[in-house]
Structure 1
Amino acid sequence: MIIERMYAHVASQEDEEWPWNVPCVRGLLADGLRFTAPVTFLVGENGSGKSTLIEALAEGFGLDSWGGSHDWRYASHRPKSVLGERMRFDAAPRGRRMLGSWSARKGFFLRAETALDALDREGFAPDFVSHGEGFLAAFRGKFLEPGLYVMDEPEAALSFASCLELLGHIDQLTKAGGQVICATHSPLLTALPGADIIEVGEHGMRRVAWDELTLVDHWRRYLADPQSYLRHILD
């Protein structure tokens, strides 16, 4: 493990402003968020705040909010988000060494919407490949060293088979000492054995088992009987 807990503090007068009024952020302010496994998935509906948490985590660790690796500052002139600049960590010994020295810091922040641009600016993205193949090239070439790897919806560009390949990369990375924290809508990714799953929503944050996830229940129901859903939205 690298990061064992993240937390933040704000002045009381800021409590009613965004992002402090988002339920999961309120939970972060009250109790922090503990990481108990090498892989943690944050799952929730659009707008639940999971990407806000993920971006702030990356910024707090020193990864650029635009996306990229520990040794590339794509937009260093950009100020941190109001949550990112207040982010603090309880770290394991390896994490403390990384936080104490920029040269020792290792990791990558992958954002679905900016991943290929960030990779291209690092001189890494291959030419003449699909969006999904470019993502996989990042996993093969950049997710190597033990470090903190933060991902925001990596499944966006990936097929079913490519998601399975990503799980293989994550498994190898964590066995080598890396830590992965990922926001996702994917029931495939969250099925990774041993992963910690945190469901984000109006309730704030709570740990759940894979087969208790709302998204897993919806996918099961939809695949079993698509019309039970489609009849409500199609004429």
Structure 2
Amino acid sequence: MIVERAYAHVDGEGPGEYPWSVPCVRQLLREGLRFTAPVTFLVGENGSGKSTLVEAFAEAFGLDPYGGSHDWQYASHRTKSALGERLRFDPAAGGRQMMRSWSARKGFFLRAETALDALRRERMAPDERSHGEGFLVAFRDKFTKPGLYVMDEPESALSFGSCLELLGHIDQLTRAGGQIVCATHSPLLTALPGADIVEVGEHGMRRVAWEELELVDHWRRYLGDPRAYLRHIVG
């Protein structure tokens, strides 16, 4: 693993100001977040703050907040977030050398909405590939070295089969020394054996088992009887 703990200290900002008003951010300020496995999934509803967290993690590690690697930091001129400016990491044993030098840090930030553009910019995905294909090509051919890989909803461009392929690439990357922090809505991805799952919501952050996730329960119920949900929504 590369990083062991994320934390931030904030002075002067009121509790009602974004992002300090978000429950998971408030908990991060109080307690920090310890990483206990090579793969950490952040799961929660839209607006829960999971994307706010992963963007700050990427920024604090020196990755381009638009999406990209350390080598392209701020090439997009995207403003660094308030949380990203204040976030710090405690290195894990395997990441101490990388964390000592800003230029030695390796990894990539994949945002769902900018992933293909960022990959093409860094010549990691051929122009003729689709969004999902380019994503998988990058994992297969380029994401092979130790580093911190931060992802925000990577499943948005992938089919069921491609999500399974992505899990295989994630497993290979962690075996090569990579660490992954991923925000997701996917019950398929979060089922990865050995992954740490952090559920984000009004409660803040809490670790849960896969079978206890609300999203897993909802998908199981929906696939078992779609009409039980659709009768409240459709006609």
Deviations 1:49-81 (A, max 9, x none): 000000000000000100112222352644311
Please give the alpha-carbon distance, in whole angstroms, between the structure 1 residues aligned to 2:145 and 2:76.
Answer: 23
Other-structure match for 1:61: 61
Q: What is the identity, as a one-letter code, of the residue corresponding to 1:50?
A: K
Please give the alpha-carbon distance, in whole angstroms, between the structure 1 residues aligned to 2:143 and 2:27.
Answer: 30
1:135 aligns to 2:135 (yes or no): yes
CA contact (8 A) 2:24 2:200 kept: yes
Deviations 1:21-64 (A, max 9, x none): 00000010010001000100000000000000000000000001
1:32 aligns to 2:32 (yes or no): yes
Please give the alpha-carbon distance, in whole angstroms, between the structure 2 residues aligned to 1:52 and 1:94.
Answer: 26
1:122 aligns to 2:122 (yes or no): yes
Please give the alpha-carbon distance, in whole angstroms, between the structure 2 residues aligned to 1:221 and 1:19.
Answer: 33
Please give the alpha-carbon distance, in whole angstroms, between the structure 1 residues aligned to 2:126 and 2:47.
Answer: 32
Other-structure match for 1:16: 16
Please give the alpha-carbon distance, in whole angstroms, between the structure 2 residues aligned to 1:216 and 1:202.
Answer: 18
Please give the alpha-carbon distance, in whole angstroms, between the structure 2 residues aligned to 1:106 and 1:195.
Answer: 21
1:79 aligns to 2:79 (yes or no): yes
Describe the SS at the equivalent of 1:108. strand
Please give the alpha-carbon distance, in whole angstroms, between the structure 2 residues aligned to 1:78 and 1:98.
Answer: 25
RMSD across aligned C-alpha pairs, in angstroms? 1.2
Other-structure match for 2:88: 88
Runs of 4+ in 1 over 4 A off after TM superposition: none
* 1:101-112 pair list within 5 angstroms: 101-112=101-112
Deviations 1:151-185 (A, max 9, x none): 00000000001000000011011111111110000
Q: What is the identity, as a one-letter code, of the residue corresponding to 1:153?
A: E
Other-structure match for 1:99: 99
Other-structure match for 1:195: 195
Other-structure match for 2:5: 5
1:46 aligns to 2:46 (yes or no): yes
Q: 1:13 to 1:106 in 2, by over 3 A?
A: closer
Deviations 1:88-139 (A, max 9, x none): 1111133232222133211010001001111111123212222211111121
Please give the alpha-carbon distance, in whole angstroms, between the structure 1 residues aligned to 2:101 and 2:40.
Answer: 25
Shift of 1:87: 0.3
Describe the SS at the equivalent of 2:64. coil
Please give the alpha-carbon distance, in whole angstroms, between the structure 1 residues aligned to 2:223 and 2:177.
Answer: 37
CA contact (8 A) 2:7 2:87 kept: yes
Other-structure match for 1:144: 144
In structure 1, the gaps of 5 or more residues are none
Please give the alpha-carbon distance, in whole angstroms, between the structure 1 residues aligned to 2:15 and 2:105.
Answer: 32
Q: What is the identity, as a one-letter code, of the residue corresponding to 1:141?
A: D
Other-structure match for 2:173: 173
In structure 2, the gaps of 5 or more residues are none
CA contact (8 A) 1:74 1:118 kept: no
CA contact (8 A) 1:42 1:182 kept: yes
Other-structure match for 2:70: 70
Percent identical pairs in the alignment equals 79
CA contact (8 A) 1:68 1:74 kept: no
Deviations 1:199-228 (A, max 9, x none): 000000000000000000000000000000
